[in-house]
Structure formats: structure tokens, C-alpha cells
Amino acid sequence: MSTPTVARPSLDDELHAATQGNVRSIGRLVSAVENADATVLAAIATRKVGAPLVVGLTGPPGVGKSTATDGLIAHYRAAGRTVAVLAIDPTSPLTGGAILGDRIRMLRHVKDPGVYIRSFAARRQLGGLAETTETAIRLLAVIGFDIILVETVGIGQSEVDIARVASTTVVLVSPRGGDGMQAVKAGVLEIADIFVVNKAELPGAEETVRDLTEALAHRRPAPDSWRPPIVRASAATPGGLDDLAIALEQHREWLEHHPVQPGQVRAELVRRALKDAAVDRFRRALAVPDDAVARVLEGVTPVDAVIDELVLLGRSSRPITL
């Protein structure tokens, strides 16, 4: 049985459908961003968007990030805001495969058209996790989501990456054992806008709060800077995220009075989109002549010299326009 070739709408139509809430369109566009599709990058970089609240949630495995994300979805939906979630999972270093399972904790929102949830595999991203995530956030903002939650496991660099793309970074620690202090040692002290001691009903929670308070006391923040609060939460309990919601609101208000230069951010995005598009077009335009390969194989011409030739060749093969 053969299916007829699927006709795709134009990119403009697809973006329009996405802003109208067409989930299929949103899903396809996010994939295009994941695959570093230069056309899409360029299209969204040049659009004006509102300023969604971008909350990054990070912390060690098992700390309750997905449950907290689930609770925040419910919180913002109750306030009538639309929510998009990017749930980022590690990839197997051996096979490149991944099981993306975070959304299992958010299943109750599956019927809500105001919620879009998307799983990301961390190491798949061609352009780097933070870059891809940033572009995906931009896309979701273009589509019109009010709140964007980015959830990622605190392994290696990814939590630091998240801090770069989120307007508010929430670091979750659990009271069990020494996890709390370990999170602090891993260098997340600098990136957190809000600390959450999750599962605050468990023994050891108060100790963890004390440890964190002490660690933060050693810092000497600039006079006008944000001082990260330490919030107790029980993500799995009704009302258990109320304090986090309040802290998020306070940080949002603070940001309003201390804005990052928006022009700078847009310029940076456009710069990257231009570069990606140019590299992409260059790659497609350039055919390496057999003669160049042969000269390298035979050692007739140094590699560097051949590359210089190729750059000239690629430039002349087609004018680069956007």
C-alpha cells in the first residue's frame, strides 16, 4: 500500500496554523528547529514577539522536576495562561538513542489545548543544546505561548546552558542524603534565580535549607542584584508549589525593572540565524572537485591550500542571499 506524497503548506501558512493552535504544525516546526532548518530559524528570528516567561527547571535525577513542572502547568493554566514545556532528557553516549519519559508525569494535561509538551533528547541537537533550546523557545514565543517551561536533568553542562536561555532558572534539590550540597558544589549556585528544596516533608529538608542559606551567605552580590530565595516545596502535594509560584512572580516583577536589552537578544538571534543559513547554503552549494581530492591524496597540494580554494569556489558558485 502506498500513501500519496504529503503536500506541505508554505512555511508562512505553517506558522500561521501553529499560532492558531494547530498541534501538528507546532510539532513539525519544533522538529525543524531541532534539525537546525535554516529557513525556519531565519523566519522566527526576524519576527517580533511578546516576552513570554521562560522558566528553566533543573536538578538531579529523582528530585521531582517533572512533578514540579506538572504542578506549574496547572498553576499557570488556572491563571488562564497558555503553557509550553520542553522536557530535555540525556542521550545514550553509546548509541545516540534515548528514552524520553518525562511527560509521563504530565499526562493529566494531555487533553488541554492550552498546553504543549515536547520531549528533547539532549545530544541530538546539531547546533548545541542551548542554541537549539533557545531557538525552540523563540519559536514557541512566536507561536504565542505565555509561559515556557524548560526541564532538564542536572548533568554536566546542561543546567548552565539552561540558565543562559531561561529568564528564571529554578534549581531543585532534594533533602535526601547529601544531594543538596552536591548540587551546590556542582556550581549551580551561580545560575539559580530560585532554589527549591523539594519534598520538604521529608527528614533532612531543614538541614538542606540551612546548608543552602549558608552557602549563599558567602556570596557578595552586587548591590542591585537579585538575591535567590530558598523555597520549600512538595511538588506532589496540592498547594505544595504555592511558595514557588510566589517566588517566580517576584522574580518576574524584578526582571521588569531590570530588563535585559531586548535589542541585543534579537540581534544575537538574527546573527546566528544568518550564520546558520549561510553555512547551510554554503554546504549545499559546494561540490568538492575530484581533482582536489586527488591532489590531497597524492600529496601534491597541502590540505590548507585546497581548503582555501574550496572556500573561493563555494563563494563563487552561488551568490548568498537570504
Partner 1 sequence: MNDVTTDAGLPVRPVYEADAVDASRIGLPGESPFTRGNFKDGYRHKLWTFRQYSGFGTAEESNERYRYLLSQGGTGLSVALDLPSQCGYDSDDSDVEEEVGKVGVAIDTLADAEILFDGIPLDSISTSFTINGTAAIILAMYVAVGEKQGVPREKLRGTIQNDILKEYTSRGTWIWPPVPSLRLIADTIEFCAAEVPRFNAISVAGAHFRDSGANAAQEMALTLQDGITYCDEVVSRGRMTIDQFAPQISFFFYTHGDFFEEIAKYRAGRRRWAEIVTDRFGAKNPKSAMFRFGVVCGGASLYAPQAQNNRVRVAYEAMASVLGGVQSMFTAAWDEPFALPTEESTTFALRTQQILAYETGVARTVDPLGGSYFVESLTDDMEDRVKAIMADLEAQGGMVKAIESGYVQRLIAEEAYRSQLALEAGERLVVGVNKFADGQPPPDAIGYELDAENRKRQMDRLADVKKRRDDGQVSETLNALGRAARGTDNLMSYLINCVNAYCTVAEMVDVLKSEWGEFEQPRVF
Partner 2 sequence: MAARILVAKPGLDGHDRGAKLVAVALRDAGFEVIYTGIRQLPVDIATIAVQENVDMVGLSILSGAHMALVRKTIIALEEAGGGDIPVVVGGTIPSFDVEPLQELGVRATFPTGSSLTDLVAGVHKVLDQHAAETEGTSWTS
Q: Which is nearer to partner 2, 13 or 291 (CB)?
A: 13
Binding mask 4-33 for partner 2 (x = CB under 8 A): -xxxxxxx--x-------xxxxxxx-xx--
What is the closest distance, in whole angstroms, from the C-beta atom of residue 273 to partner 2 in the complex? 15
Query: Which among 35-43, 166-174, 190-198, 290-298 is the span making contact with partner 2, rule CB under 8 A?
Result: 35-43
Strand order, beta sheet including 115-121: 115-121, 83-89, 147-153, 53-59, 168-173, 194-197, 230-232
Rule CB under 8 A: say whether 66 interacts with partner 1: yes
Q: Which is nearer to partner 2, 41 or 247 (CB)?
A: 41
- Candidates 9, 27, 62, 128; binder of partner 1 (CB under 8 A) is 62
> 93-101: which pairs have CB atoms within 8 A and are 24 or more residues apart?
93/123, 96/123, 96/124, 98/122, 98/124
Q: Are 63 and 96 contacting, i.e. CB atoms less than 8 angstroms apart?
A: no
Q: Which residues between 36 and 55 bind partner 2 (CB under 8 A)?
A: 39-40
**Residue-wise over 183-208: b if at least 16 C-beta within 10 A, else e?**
bbeeebbebbbbbbbbbbeeebbeeb
C-alpha to C-alpha distance for 149 and 172, rounded to whole angstroms: 14
Q: Is 186 helix (H, G, I), strand (E, B) or coil?
A: coil
Residues comprising the chain, all counted? 322
What is the closest distance, in whole angstroms, from the C-beta atom of residue 101 to partner 1 in the complex? 4
Binding mask 89-108 for partner 2 (x = CB under 8 A): --xx--xxxxxxx-xx--x-
- Candidates 9, 27, 101, 187; binder of partner 1 (CB under 8 A) is 101
C-alpha to C-alpha distance for 149 and 70, rounded to whole angstroms: 10
Query: Which among 97-105, 159-167, 215-223, 277-285 is the span making contact with partner 1, rule CB under 8 A?
Result: 97-105
Interface residue list for partner 1 (CB under 8 A) = 62, 66, 99, 101-102, 104-105, 107-108
